[in-house]
Structure 1
Amino acid sequence: MFQKTKVTIFSFSIFVFMLIFNMNLAFADETNSSKSTEGIKATVLDTLTIDNAELEQSHGIKNQKVQILITSGSHKGEKLIIDNTIDTSMSENFSLSKGDNILISIEEKNGKITKAYMYQFDRGKYLLYLTLGFVILMILIGGIKGIKSVFTLALTIIIILKVLPTLLLKGYDPVTTSVLICIGIIVFTLLIVSGINRKTVSAIIGTSCGVAMAGLIALLMGNLTKLTGYGTEESQMLMYIPQNINFNYKGLLFAAILMGALGAIMDVSMSIASSMNEIDDSNPNISTASLMKAGMSVGKDIMGTMSNTLILAYIGASLQFVILLMAYNISFIEIINQNVIATEIVRALSGSIGLISSIPITIFVSGILRNRKARRRLEI
Structure 2
Amino acid sequence: MKKLAIFALCMVFVLFFSTWVWANSNGQDIDLYDTDDQIPPYTVLRGIITYVGPFEEDTEHQFYLGRQDFRVKITSKGNFYGKEFDLENIKMGHPLYDLDLRVGQRVLLYAELSGEEIINIGIQSYARDYYLYILVGIFVVVLLLIGGFKGFKALVTLTIMAIVIILGLLPLILKGYNPLNLAIGFSSLIAVLTLFIVGGVNNKSIAATFGVIGGLIVSGVLAVIFGKVAHLTGFSSEEAQMLSFIDEAIKIDIQGLLFAGIIIGTLGAVLDVGMSVASSMAEIQKSIPEIKPLHLLKAGMNVGRDIMGTMVNTLILAYTGSSLPLLLIFRAYETSYDRIINMDLIATEIVRSLVGSLGLILTIPLTASFYILLMSRGKKREENG
- Equivalence for 1:374: 379
Give the Cα–Cα distance (whole angstroms) in 1 for the partners of residues 32 and 94 of structure 2: 37
Could you tell me whether the CA contact under 8 Å between 1:322 and 1:335 is conserved in 2?
Answer: no
Residue identity in the other structure for 1:369: L
Give the Cα–Cα distance (whole angstroms) in 1 for the partners of residues 163 and 41 of structure 2: 23
Could you tell me whether the CA contact under 8 Å between 1:230 and 1:236 is conserved in 2?
Answer: yes
**Gap runs ≥5 in structure 2:** 25-30, 34-38
* Pairs aligned (count): 368
Q: More helix by proportion, 1 or 2?
A: 1
| Cα shift at 1:234 | 0.8
Task: Give deviations 1:186-213, integer Å, cap 9, x for gaps.
Answer: 1111112222100011000000000111
- Equivalence for 1:27: none
Q: Check if 1:217 corresponds to 2:183.
A: no
Give the Cα–Cα distance (whole angstroms) in 2 for the partners of residues 277 and 36 of structure 1: 60
Alignment partner of 1:55 out of 51, 54, 58: 58
Task: Give deviations 1:341-377, integer Å, cap 9, x for gaps.
Answer: 1101101100000000010111111112122223333
Q: Check if 1:169 corresponds to 2:174.
A: yes
Out of 84-93 and 118-127, give the one that drifted further.
84-93
Task: Give deviations 1:96-118, integer Å, cap 9, x for gaps.
Answer: 01111111101223422222111
- Equivalence for 1:307: 312
Alignment partner of 2:292 out of 258, 276, 287: 287
Give the Cα–Cα distance (whole angstroms) in 1 for the partners of residues 40 and 136 of structure 2: 29
- Equivalence for 2:146: 141
- Equivalence for 2:344: 339
Give the Cα–Cα distance (whole angstroms) in 2 for the partners of residues 220 and 37 of structure 1: 45
- Equivalence for 1:151: 156
TM-score by length of 1: 0.88
Give the Cα–Cα distance (whole angstroms) in 1 for the partners of residues 246 and 257 of structure 2: 15
Give the Cα–Cα distance (whole angstroms) in 1 for the partners of residues 44 and 364 of structure 2: 46
Distance 1:49 1:74, change over 3 A: same
Q: Check if 1:249 corresponds to 2:254.
A: yes
Residue identity in the other structure for 2:379: A
Alignment partner of 1:66 out of 70, 86, 102: 70
Give the Cα–Cα distance (whole angstroms) in 2 for the partners of residues 343 and 288 of structure 1: 41
Q: Secondary structure at the match of 1:117?
A: strand
Task: Give deviations 1:318-360, integer Å, cap 9, x for gaps.
Answer: 2212222332221122112111111011011000000000101
Q: Secondary structure at the match of 1:94?
A: coil
**Gap runs ≥5 in structure 1:** 25-29
Distance 1:236 1:89, change over 3 A: closer
Give the Cα–Cα distance (whole angstroms) in 2 for the partners of residues 145 and 89 of structure 1: 45
Residue identity in the other structure for 2:68: Q
Residue identity in the other structure for 1:55: D
Alignment partner of 2:111 out of 106, 110, 126: 106
Could you tell me whether the CA contact under 8 Å between 1:318 and 1:341 is conserved in 2?
Answer: no
- Equivalence for 2:27: none
Could you tell me whether the CA contact under 8 Å between 1:269 and 1:359 is conserved in 2?
Answer: yes
Could you tell me whether the CA contact under 8 Å between 1:205 and 1:362 is conserved in 2?
Answer: yes
| Cα shift at 1:74 | 3.6
Q: Secondary structure at the match of 2:244?
A: helix
Could you tell me whether the CA contact under 8 Å between 2:176 and 2:253 is conserved in 1?
Answer: no
Give the Cα–Cα distance (whole angstroms) in 1 for the partners of residues 65 and 119 of structure 2: 24
Q: Secondary structure at the match of 2:251?
A: coil
- Equivalence for 2:49: 44
Residue identity in the other structure for 1:138: L
Give the Cα–Cα distance (whole angstroms) in 1 for the partners of residues 41 and 115 of structure 2: 15
Could you tell me whether the CA contact under 8 Å between 1:104 and 1:116 is conserved in 2?
Answer: yes
Give the Cα–Cα distance (whole angstroms) in 1 for the partners of residues 353 and 43 of structure 2: 37
Residue identity in the other structure for 1:307: V
Could you tell me whether the CA contact under 8 Å between 1:63 and 1:85 is conserved in 2?
Answer: yes
Q: Secondary structure at the match of 2:250?
A: coil
Could you tell me whether the CA contact under 8 Å between 1:202 and 1:362 is conserved in 2?
Answer: yes
Residue identity in the other structure for 1:63: R
Distance 1:35 1:272, change over 3 A: farther
Q: Secondary structure at the match of 1:329?
A: coil
Out of 259-268 and 172-181, give the one that drifted further.
172-181
Distance 1:39 1:325, change over 3 A: farther
Q: Secondary structure at the match of 1:240?
A: coil
Task: Give deviations 1:221-261, integer Å, cap 9, x for gaps.
Answer: 00110111112111111111146421111111111111000
> CA RMSD for the aligned pairs?
3.1
Out of 338-347 and 320-329, give the one that drifted further.
320-329
- Equivalence for 1:188: 193
Residue identity in the other structure for 1:103: L
Out of 100-109 and 344-353, give the one that drifted further.
100-109
